[in-house]
Structure 1
Amino acid sequence: MSYTMSSTLLTENISRLWTSVIANQLQKLGTDHVFIAPGMRNAPLIAGFKAQEEINLHVGMDERALSYQAYGYAKTSGKAGVLVCTSGTAAANFYPAVIEAKKSNTPLIVISADRPLELSQTDANQSIDQKQLYSNHIKHFLDLGTPCESVSTKAVARMMAHAYEVALRAPAGPVHINISFREPLDGKLQSIDSKVIDNAKNVFEAQSPARQLLGQNTLDISSIMPLLQKAKNPLVVVGELNLSDVNETREQLLQALKSCPFPLNVDVTSSLKFDFSLNDGLVPTFDHPEVYEYFHNNPPDLILHIGARLTSKHFYRYLDQHSDLFPVVHLSKSISLSDCGHAVTHNFNVDPINAIIALGSFWSQTPSTKNLPFSPFVHKKIDTIENSKPLAFPYISKRIIEMIPSGHNLVIGNSTLIRSFDSYASVAEAKSLSVLTHRGVSGIEGFFASATGCALANKKPVTLALGDVSALHDLNSLELVARSSTPIICIIVNNYGGGIFTLLNLEKGEELYPIITSPHERKLAPIAKAFGIEAHEVNTRSEFEMTYKSALERKQSTFIEVFVDTAANNEIYQQLRTIKLS
């Protein structure tokens, strides 16, 4: 549920005075949605945010679900997702989303209410040590202490503005703000010095925030031009890009990338993959043995990797085994050692979006080397998928891409599904999709919730493709799906366990499959129906296409459970592996 009301400086007591200033400061910095896990210790914070104009409050019963909703909102919008919780284990339930945000450079601001020192350090009920709770998984920790008259609200406002700036500054990420509240936690009147109130009014009524977000650096590509000009046969790969930045600059990015005269591999996490086809010189993922073999026999003389990590582990295997043959140039916002192939020779800490746009003018004046042999084997794989009758992951991902309208959101789960979508390569057709993934640490939880956050951010329909085990991890978030005013189509591929492990072709250890595959006997559509969501069970291709087509035409959320036989799915994958380059 959501709430809004006009801005008011609360002066009933010092706690409410502080929280009014905190909420008002975040509003001035651009916060328009706040995600609240209710409680009593954070009641002053709830009051402060509820009193601010233009801030929508989203209340969630499950802290983990709420945190992923904030993550999905932040990743799609580019704005910081603000989370508010009570004391105790509430903030700990945010932990998986905080880690994902750190690894994926997504701005989150966690504001946790705490008990004061005399309670938190004496084993009082619902108290833990919340300071540095997230360790090195955040960019910044701020302990505001307990609201008091001796600390000026101007100082509080500036510290909040700084924390906001840290969350947004590249590389973006989560910050944690901890604030201890003594009673009264409600609106009980408490005497406050008039000077303190006057100072708070000055901060509150100021037209601008207490501290401005500084501008971001742009790229001067002259520093990398000597490397690029020397290369005659480079390979350009585009990894994960900031989703909100892509949506703001998509036309410029496509103009630049489609002028690229070199072989181009675009990862599914870039949100640009489906804007390209083989006709644009697209190189399919290195997970295709044919692609790996081609570049083994025809190595580039330079690899230019733009953006964050790629989905394909075989790309990094290729780097590990061939990097002595060519330099590897990496352009990324991150200052982390993002080099799991142990191959990067030149690393530039730059905004990859600006880099692509800037490189467009160089690429447009360079002769093309895009004579690639991939179209025949892709056609053969498409024919294999089309001619095989059972429902399987390659067919499901292919049909979703073919049927989903351009401009929609696509949220993709991990494990088999993300690899299936990354393996897809269009022969001719292209469409623009906003693709949201959880590839920071590749956890399997929180996808229903992040899909609702994505829908909240841009108000566009969402198709969520998810595995059954991942869905089981996030059933509470179906409440958020049921509440969503924007349609969310949940396509759950149910093979009754973690089928990806059966695709690994273990030489030894098959006896572990009954454990590592998390087998179960649960159907999930009845659970979705219990949340009031229209739900369907699908067993054939025709049923899937008809049900998905109908869901796309509806204005409400739909749950589609697609049953896949693991043995039949594995057989199709085996057939696809046997196809070779002509």
Structure 2
Amino acid sequence: MSHSSFNRRWAAVILEALTRHRVQHLCIAPGSRSAPLTLLAASHPRLICHTHFDERGLGHLALGLAKSTGQPVAIVVTSGTAVANLYPAIIEARLTGERLIVLSADRPVELLDCGANQAIEQTGLFAHHAAALNLPRPTPDVSARWLVSAIDSLLGQQVFGAVQINCPFAEPLYGDDPDAFRSWRDDLGKWWQDDRPWLRQVAARATPVNPEWGFWRQQRGVVIAGKMTAEEGIAVARWAAELGWPLIADVQSQSGQPLPSASIWLQHPQALATLASAQLIVQFGSHLTGKTLGGWLADCQPEDFWLIEAMPERRDPAHHRGSRIVAEIVPWLAAHPALAQPAWCPELTRLVADITSAIRQPAFSEAGLAQHLPSLLPAQGALFLGNSLTIRLVDTFAQLPAGYPVFANRGASGIDGLIATAAGVQRGSHRPLLAIVGDISALYDVNSLALLGQSQAPVVLIVVNNDGGQIFSMLPTPASERQRFFAMPQQVDFAAAARLFGLQFHRPDDWQALVTAVERGWQEEGATLIELRVAAEEGAQSLAVAGKVRQE
């Protein structure tokens, strides 16, 4: 009993330390070795606990929560392969900056490398994808002050991405004497009644100011908007408009995309000739969706190139010569005010309007869904876009409302955990959510439909069933091998999946039926799954046809 009681005291300090770093949501998978953490989390008054039986989905649920709340999210898993199943979510967080805190329960050291059950080497399991703290086995010989300051030091230094706190626990794991080891716990004194970390790390992060801005803001500039928050997207759009500079915006920018369909018009000779005279390119945010935009950026040679983003490290795959500015976007804009002036290339706006009016898509189609997507969005809601062909089509054909929250997993751009991430976005935002994924993506994360079934606000998940990974039809894959080894058509019926997890289900056969199904979904409690069956290669062919318009 005394040993299990000290496990609980140790776990209590860990969890309390996390709350001092703005952790509110904690995602838990079932397991016995993690029982000290789970039981303390369940009784903690400031923690909201989420559960899932699938650790891979649990990691992405936490990722979605971190995306929508902007706060770090903790994950509790038991030892063994349960920890390894978090890897895809950890990699995504490393690339896009969401803060995940993995509390991985572990066997004590004497049970490692000796054939003990469910014991693997967990120290450093995530390599450079996550900073790590390997705790000792709980013992009163290690002070509570050391434990809390070690956690504070790790979290104070790692302000982006994931961390792993490996927590060995020896048996017994259950039972508690509330009066045991009180002096060890009370060594932290008034910290228990405070709301600040034990060890506060203060880093001076003054917004860098370019002394040449007075000169550059009077030149010909182009603004690129990558992945940003709604507040940042609106501010960047306003700043670019006041300067009279064209804004080329990614689907994740939430800027309103004043020049939509950049993947198409950026290949038009007149557009390229106009933009070639730009002297400065200022990019906010990274992880651009459109391959055409990335290609244009790689080819352009402005006099200077600035990339502004709060995350450190290199974020420019074209490796421009210029300035990599590590700063929060909104404060940086305030420190570099725009100079109101007329647009220096108004002909570009007219060209884009002509091109976009010529690429109208049939509403009831894969490309049509992307183009008409704004009409399906819930009021005061949010949008989650799956990878592969889905987000590319929306980036190409849609113009989303300014400031409307858009979420995606565009770090590693995998198809794993997309439904779980969407569920986390909804739980963190408390908004109605429209999510769109492809059929293979849905099958890959079908377990996470259980998470959608627990939604507290309406969720509509549209699964675009084009019978396989049709993005590969855009690539020069050999026709004789494409179906078997690349597209892999599954010919599945998603009605069965909806029944399995208790979701509302619709399979509309025209645009009006789709609109009706979506609107009905906003009136339902919980989640609605809509299967949109489309011709196999229609979406990819639409991109190819639209590309021909750009040359005219």
> What TM-score do you get using the length of structure 2 for normalisation?
0.92
Corresponding residue of 2:167: 179
1:384–1:576 Cα contact (<8 Å) kept: yes
Residues 1:454 and 2:441 aligned together: no
Stretch deviating more after TM superposition (525-534 or 563-572): 563-572
> Aligned with 1:317: secondary structure?
helix
Equivalent residue letter for 2:210: S
Equivalent residue letter for 2:499: K
Counterpart of 2:8 (choices 11, 16, 27) is: 16
Residue-by-residue CA offset, 1:354-391 (whole Å, 9 max, x unaligned): 223433x2x243443240334455455445434x47x3
Residue-by-residue CA offset, 1:199-254 (whole Å, 9 max, x unaligned): 2565434453212364672423334526724x62211101112x4xx45x666555
Q: 1 CA distance for matches of 2:427 and 2:182?
A: 41
Corresponding residue of 2:411: 440
Q: 2 CA distance for matches of 1:485 and 1:308?
A: 32
Equivalent residue letter for 2:370: S
Identity %: 26
CA RMSD in angstroms comes to 2.6
> Aligned with 1:178: secondary structure?
strand
Corresponding residue of 1:142: 133
Residues 1:399 and 2:372 aligned together: yes
Residues 1:54 and 2:54 aligned together: no
From the superposition, tell whether residues 580 and 34 of structure 1 become closer, same or farther in structure 2 (CA, over 3 Å): closer
Any gaps of 5 or more consecutive residues in structure 1?
1-9
Q: How big is the shift at 1:305?
A: 1.1
1:161–1:212 Cα contact (<8 Å) kept: yes
Equivalent residue letter for 2:324: N
Counterpart of 2:149 (choices 140, 149, 158) is: 158
Q: 1 CA distance for matches of 2:120 and 2:453?
A: 33
Q: 2 CA distance for matches of 1:371 and 1:456?
A: 43
Equivalent residue letter for 1:198: D
Counterpart of 1:340 (choices 308, 311, 317) is: 317
Corresponding residue of 1:265: 248
1:208-247 to structure 2, matched below 5 A, reads 208-212=196-200, 214=202, 217-223=205-211, 225=213, 228-229=216-217, 232-241=219-228, 243=229, 246-247=230-231
Corresponding residue of 1:560: 530
Q: 1 CA distance for matches of 2:412 and 2:307?
A: 20
- Give the number of aligned pairs: 549
> Aligned with 1:268: secondary structure?
coil
1:499–1:566 Cα contact (<8 Å) kept: yes
Q: How big is the shift at 1:401?
A: 1.5
Any gaps of 5 or more consecutive residues in structure 2?
none
Equivalent residue letter for 2:128: N
1:306–1:352 Cα contact (<8 Å) kept: yes
> Aligned with 1:483: secondary structure?
coil
Residue-by-residue CA offset, 1:439-463 (whole Å, 9 max, x unaligned): 0100111111111111111201110
1:153–1:203 Cα contact (<8 Å) kept: no
From the superposition, tell whether residues 260 and 450 of structure 1 become closer, same or farther in structure 2 (CA, over 3 Å): farther
Counterpart of 1:509 (choices 455, 473, 478) is: 478
2:433–2:459 Cα contact (<8 Å) kept: yes
Corresponding residue of 2:103: 111
1:374–1:581 Cα contact (<8 Å) kept: no
Corresponding residue of 2:463: 492
1:173-322 to structure 2, matched below 5 A, reads 173-189=161-177, 192=180, 195-199=183-187, 202-212=190-200, 214=202, 217-223=205-211, 225=213, 228-229=216-217, 232-241=219-228, 243=229, 246-247=230-231, 252-253=235-236, 255-270=238-253, 272-273=254-255, 275-277=256-258, 282=259, 284-291=261-268, 294-296=271-273, 298-299=275-276, 300-322=278-300
Q: How big is the shift at 1:98?
A: 0.2
Residues 1:423 and 2:396 aligned together: yes
1:110–1:176 Cα contact (<8 Å) kept: yes
Residue-by-residue CA offset, 1:500-547 (whole Å, 9 max, x unaligned): 11123x2x6333312111221112232112210001112322222222
Corresponding residue of 1:482: 453
> What TM-score do you get using the length of structure 1 for normalisation?
0.88
From the superposition, tell whether residues 15 and 365 of structure 1 become closer, same or farther in structure 2 (CA, over 3 Å): same
Q: How big is the shift at 1:559?
A: 0.7
2:100–2:161 Cα contact (<8 Å) kept: yes
Residue-by-residue CA offset, 1:433-485 (whole Å, 9 max, x unaligned): 11111001001111111111111112011100111111111000000000111
Q: 1 CA distance for matches of 2:112 and 2:3?
A: 26
1:48-87 to structure 2, matched below 5 A, reads 48-87=40-79
Stretch deviating more after TM superposition (350-359 or 39-48): 350-359
2:370–2:398 Cα contact (<8 Å) kept: no
From the superposition, tell whether residues 358 and 462 of structure 1 become closer, same or farther in structure 2 (CA, over 3 Å): farther
